[in-house]
Structure formats: structure tokens, C-alpha cells
Chains A and B, each alone.
Chain A
Amino acid sequence: MRRASLILLLLASVACRGGESSPTRRTLIDSRDTYDPRSLDPALSTDVPTGRAVAYVFDGLVRFTPAAEIVPGLARSWEVSDGGKVYTFHLRTGVKFHDGRPFTAQNVINSFQRVLDPATTGGRGWPLYPIQGAREYGDGKAQSITGLSAPNDSTVVIALTEPLAIFPKLLAMPVTSIIPDSVPANFGERPIGTGPWKFVEWKHDDYLLFARNDAYWGGAAKADSLMARIIAEPSTAVAEFETGNVDVLQVPEQEARNWEQTDEKSAMLSSAPALRFWYVGINTTRGPLRDARVRQALNLAVDVPTILDRMVSGHGRIAAGVIPPTLPGADTMRAPYKRDVARAKQLLAEAGFPNGIDVELWSSQSPPFPRIAQTIQAYLAEAGIRAKLVQRDASSVREASRKGETDMILKEWFADYPDAENFLYPLLHTTNRGVGGNISFYSNPNFDRIVDQARREQDDAARAALYRQADAIAFADAPMIFLFHHRVLYAIQPWIKGFEIPTIFNGQNWTGVSIAR
């Protein structure tokens, strides 16, 4: 497969004619979705294509900008009181759903209840669990959510079980979007929101089409309509971009360098740091991997700069912790583990393994995972660590790692919201072992205490300091091989104006994007 796409690429670079003229169409066309969304019902948005589409049709109380800053959405403003436990959201008035019904505070309450309602079977209640009574409602033990109230049509008061400074960011996730009352059973196929784009049609596995909402409270979109094409094969998306049929392309990692080295193509490229972290989760409860010295040895054995350079065309930054360098709390001065085979061997010997260890390294079969896993295996071998590669499809790998059956697993983690907490808490907190995201099964009471404290801390600077402290502990304990924080590479057609690369998957709603004539 890879060889075929390489040949295609080489031929294409010869064939590329460049200097395309603007298309006559008035529809913006995206090519980033690789599979059909699960649904267009916000309550079911657990995958990227669903989340992106939901962000077009719906609004949350707040939303993300492309740079992942949090800005008002359906809430004009909000205050925090009671030491960070109570949030009062002041809602926009005069906002209407696409079917003409007015948006009111009761919609917020009903939308949140629906996400938590067991009958919805969405599977993503956790962003709302900080609300008082949310878990009880979700378990079917209560008739309503005690922490939610609407004193009038334009105010929503949310009481949390304990202070949580990141709470507003959770409300910018697609799952917490606001929907109208009493929606029909096929709402996931015929969504109605307040968002900048109205739903037009959905041809499964083909495309989604949206039309501009002229009455959008945030100002109508510049383009008439927006199409999200669903293209499974990355090489095909590349061909569609080269023929000018799509406006935006996420350049496949393994092809990035070729694009950068072709003049006409490199002019269309632009890149931005993504909240996407590559690592090898080390199960800290299995065999020799229980010893931190062994895990440090693993980190010292691998030449991460070379992997970054050769496997993902250098698009990233070597990780010295789990927090991406663009987020508050990241320690950009901390030195990453540097390859030192002798030191790695010495650490193994100190831990009682002078003859090295045997481990399994799991990865999924989709590129570029297998190649990176093979490279890591070769580096580990030089330090006397005999890694056996296990390659399965993504679903099997996920299941095994969550059950704690994998020694090591090559993984990437995409942020749901831009905050260091979204890396520290799910990936490494004791509460989240297994299905919560902590597939290292890392458990350090000291780390947990600092992260818990950070979650409650209201002061931004103090919170960032706590994040930094927790990250330093994890870095030393090495419950993972720290690889790199990714930069995404996009190709944008020359006729497209105003497209900013989103740092977070639902951060670009295309309202400011237009086709130049």
C-alpha cells in the first residue's frame, strides 16, 4: 500500500501543473473526514468527524477559536462564585434555532439531561459529571440534575460538586452543544441547532452539506455553503486536492517532506502545533516495568529526534513531559531524555536486569504506527531490551491496553479541550486507569494529589505551576516513552481566504473563510 502511494506521489509531483485558477463553485469543500460520522446528534459525538460536523450546526455555551482560545458562545458572559463551585451563565437573547424556535435557558438544561440520560446511549457523560447530581441522574437514580437550574429564560446556574477551573472548556466540547426541545427519533440524521451552518443533506460515506445560517448571532458565514467530503484513503484526498476539488487538505505525515520539497506545493502549506501527543504507554504494573529505572532506561534507549525527523518529517517537538509546549504548565526548558545506551544498560543492571528484559510492544496496523514501532524495537535491542512487536487492528489494541494486557503500546492522544489537565488527568491519574485513558496504569499518590489540587485551583498562574510540578513527577517516573508533540501540516488552496488551522478538532467553523474571485 505504502509503496503504491509513494509511486503515485512521485508521478504526481512530475505531473503537477500548478497555478490553478479559482473554481467557479461557491461551496467550501473540506476533505479531512476519513470515515462517516457516527451521527449528527451532539449526544453521540464521540469521534472526530461527528464532533466537527456538530460544531457547524450547533453552539455550546462557549466555543473554541482556531487557536483554541475559549470565547463566548450561546452564553454572553459568565461568573464564578462560591469559591469556584458555582457558574452563572448569562445567555444571549433573541437567538433562534434553524427551525425558528427561540433558544432559552431550559434548552440548556434539557440538552445536558439528554446527554446523561441512559436511554440516549451516547457513552460520553463525563464532561458533565462535575455537575452536582449529574452522576446520579446518569445512573437513573434521580429525576433531575440537582446542580442545574434556570432562574429565568436567559440565565443558567450550574453548581459543581467541587471547584473545577477547566469547567467552561468542557462546555465547548461537541457533546455539550445545545439542542431544541422534544427532538424526533431521527434527530441524528436531521439535526437542528443554532449554529453558523444549517444542515442540508447527508449522503453517508460520501458527503455532508450545510448552508449558511443568515441569522447567525455571531454574523453570517462568508461562503454560501460548506461541504465535508468523506474520503477514506489519504492518497485519494491528495488527488482531490491536486485537481482543485477540495479546498483544504491535511497532508499525510509520511508525505509531508515531499510536499515541502516541491516549490509549487510548498507555497500552499502551512502548519500549526496540534494538541496531539505521541508516546509509548508503559504498563507500570507488569514485570520489570514496575521499576522506574527500567522505564527510564527505555526512554534513554530510544533516539526520538531521529524518529521525529524520519517518520513524521520533523513535524513536532520532542516531548519532555505530557503537556504540549503551547499550553500553560508546560516546562519548555526541561531537557528531554537523550539517547544514552550505556546509561540505559547501567540502569537496567541496577534494577537487577543485567541481561536485559523481554517485553511486548503493541501498535495498530495503520501507518505510520508499524514503522515507528519497528524503529523503536531496533533502538531498544541495542540496549538489551528485547521487544516483541504485536500488531493488531486499532480496536483490538485499544481493548487489550485498557484491560492492562499490554506491556507497552505506541499511541497518540488528541486533546478534547486545550488544557494541561486534558493530558495529566486522563493519561496518568489513578482514577482513569484503563478505560479512562491511563493505559500506563500509573498510580502515584503524590502526582494525584497535585493534579487534584490543580483542578480545584482558581488562579491561572498557580494552576500552571501545579501542572508543571505534576508533569515533572511523571517525567521522572517515566510511565511512558515520551516521543513528541505533533505539528499538523495543512495544504490550503490559493483561492481560500481566512482559513486558520485549528489547534483543536472542532475549533474551525469556517465562518470567516471565503473563496477569492
Chain B
Amino acid sequence: MLSFILRRLLLAIPTLFGVLVIVFLLLYVAPGDPVQEMVGERADPETVARLRAELRLDDPLHKQFVHYAGGVVQGDLGRSYITRRPILQDIRERFPKTLQLAGAAMLLASVIGITIGILSARVPGGWFDRISLGVAYLGISFPVYWVGLILILVFAVMLRWLPPSGYGGIEYLILPALALGSRSIAFLARVTRSAMLDVLGSDFVRTARAKGQSERLVITRHALRNALIPIITVLGLDFGYYLTGSILTETIFSWPGLGRYVVNAISRRDLPAIQGSVLFLSVVFVLVNLITDLAYAKADPRVAYKTAS
């Protein structure tokens, strides 16, 4: 198991290097100029030329890349062109907040989504199944942006139960987590339902029922455990969605996380900030994929990761 993890981590290095190169090249060919954003609406050509030289923007591409990659290898993501703050400090400040939001969304989505899925699977075609199916379709179809605004309107402006936006205690977390998790709730409910239906039709469930076990035990101990693999897959895949979805959610709910940071960095062409955030998020992705794979083995003893092949 340990060597499996090590091997996967080693394999991640070329992946991350690839990400680094691609992001660097994309930003190089994309229009827009960080210096023009720094100086604002009015400047003079001399200042622009001096700042370009200062930031090494006039160096040949390979030189710029070597300079940047050299810093990254030493754990230095550089300083923001615009704010002059170290990128790593910015990420350290914001990522925990994004993680908090993603975690809350995931928790909400799994609790609500899996419960709905199980309940629908118990009586397929029943009233609960049909209603939840309809709601699930709506949940998948509505964009996060719209859901977010409606949640603010209903729970903050009309009912005054929760604050419309901002960062603080748990009351600030509920609406953005719901908005971010809404699509996932629907998706998880659908996947859980079909996985449960598959398992509930199998022989061992019939056996369990035949030996007189209660329906609750049949579902929780026998069926759900065996339906977990596709659910874990969806959760793992969705995590990526949480990180990208957080860009919109954080913007709507004024949540001071990494998503908004990236949006700001892109709009101001703050190259080190964009590169640093994308690289950091890629590391997170690699780790999440690894954790998902490990979770398979935990959920299903038949899945095992051998040391060598």
C-alpha cells in the first residue's frame, strides 16, 4: 500500500510539470498585459517599459520559464505583480476557506443526496422516487449562479434567516454550501438510487431478506456497502467540480476563498498569481484522486493495490 502511494506521488511529478508548462505557454499567448493592469487607466510609455524590464517580461520565453520553474522547485511561487505580496501567503490565507466551503458542500451533498437515493430505491416508481427524480433533474439543470441568487433572495432577503454573504460563523456557510452542493445532491441521489437498485436485485440481498433480517439492516449493512464504489467515484469527481464551482459561488456570496483570488488574478493578468494557483489546485487534484483510489480499497476488499505488477 505504501509503495503504491509513493509510486503514485512520483508519477504526479511529470503531470505537475506538464501543467506548469501548459499554463505558462497559455498565459504567454493569451492577450492582455499585466503591466497595463498595474499602471491603470493612464500612464506613460517609459514607465511601462521600465516595469516590463523589472518583471522580466521582455526576456525570451525559455529564460522566463527557467526563472519561474527554478523558484517553484525551491518552493517559491513568486510575488504578485499587482499587489507585491508573496503568492504562497495569499494561497495559504485563502485555500482553507475554499476547502471549508467545498467540505461543507460535500457533506451536505452526501448526506442529503445519498439519503434521497436510498429512499427512492426502496420503492422505485413510488411517489417519493418520482418527486425526487423531478427535483434532481431541476438541481442538475440550474446553474450555480442562479441557485445562489435565489437562495440569497429567499433565505436572506425575504425570510431574514441567514446573512446574504460574507465570511464568518456557520450561518455564513450554509447558503453557499447549499448553492455549491445543489448539483451534487441531485447527481448523488441519482447515482445512489441506480447503484442501490442494482444491488437490491442481487442474490445476496434476497438471501439476507430470506433469513429474516430487518429491511433497515439489509439496506445499511448489505446493500449500501456494495453500492459505495460508484458513489465514491462520483464524490471524487465532484471534488474537482467543487473547486471550480467555488469560483462562481465565492463571487456571489463574497466568500474570500481561492476561487475569487483566481478570478481577480486572471482579470488583472497577474501571471505569478494565476500560475501559482493553478499549480496548487493541480496538486490538490492529484491528491484527491489518490485518496479516491485508496477509498475504493477501503470500501471493497476485492480491490487491492499490489506492490508490483
Q: How far is the CB of B59 from chain A (nearest CB, A)?
A: 17
Query: In the complex the two chains form, is B164's CB within 8 Å of A236's CB?
Result: yes
CB distance from A369 to the nearest CB of B (A): 14
Whether A47 contacts B40 by the Cβ 8 Å rule is: yes
Residues of B within 8 A of A46 (CB): 38-40
Do residues A240 and B153 form an inter-chain contact, with CB atoms below 8 A? no
Residues of A with C-beta under 8 A to B30: 396
Q: Does A230 contact B (CB under 8 A)?
A: yes
The interface residues of chain B lying within 8 Å CB-to-CB of A121 are 38, 51, 54, 84
Judge whether B36 and A12 touch: CB under 8 Å. Answer: no
B153 and A231 contacting across the interface, CB-CB below 8 Å: no
Q: Cα distance A396–B94 when bound, in Å?
A: 27
CB of B156 within 8 A of CB of A243, answer yes
Instruction: Please judge, given known A-B contacts A399-B33, A434-B45, whether A206 and B254 are in contact too, CB under 8 Å.
Output: yes
Closest to B146 in A: A4
1/0 per residue, CB under 8 A from B, across A365-402: the answer is: 00000000000000000000000000011111011101
Which chain B residue has the least Cβ–Cβ distance from A119? Answer: B54
Q: Is B240 part of the contact surface with A, judged by Cβ < 8 Å? A: no
Residue of A nearest to B35 (CB): A123
In the complex, chain A residues whose CB is within 8 Å of the CB of B264: 35-36, 205
Q: Is the CB of A232 within 8 A of B43?
A: no
- What is the bound-complex CA distance between A2 and B252, given in angstroms? 13
Please give the distance in Å from B306's CB to the nearest CB on chain A: 46
Complex formed: what's the CA distance from A109 to B54 in Å?
A: 24
Q: A15-B153, A236-B164 are in contact. Are A123 and B267 (CB under 8 A)?
A: no
- Nearest Cβ distance between residue A489 and chain B, in whole angstroms? 20
* B268 / chain A contacts, CB cutoff of 8 Å: 395
Complex Cα gap A510–B232 (Å): 53
Q: Are B260 and A123 in contact (CB under 8 A)?
A: no
Name the distance in Å between B38's Cβ and chain A's nearest Cβ. 5
Most chain A C-beta atoms within 10 Å of own C-beta, residue among B48, B50, B83: B83
Query: When the two chains form the complex, which single residue of B47, B143, B156, B261 contacts A123, counting CB atoms closer than 8 Å?
Result: B47
Does the CB pair A205–B31 fall under 8 Å?
no
Q: For window 408-448 of chain A, which residues contact chain B by CB distance below 8 Å?
A: 413-414, 416, 426, 432, 434-437
| Interface members, chain A 99-140 (any B CB < 8 Å) | 118, 121, 123-126, 129, 135, 138-139
CA distance A432 to B33 in the complex (A): 19
> Separation in Å of the A374 CB from the closest CB of chain B?
22
Q: List 21 A-B contacts (CB under 8 A).
A: A7-B149, A15-B158, A16-B157, A35-B264, A35-B267, A121-B54, A124-B43, A205-B254, A205-B260, A205-B264, A206-B254, A207-B166, A236-B152, A236-B165, A243-B160, A392-B31, A395-B267, A396-B30, A400-B31, A436-B42, A436-B45
Q: Can you list the 4 inter-chain pairs with the closest CB atoms, starting with the nearest?
A: A46-B40, A205-B256, A395-B32, A123-B39
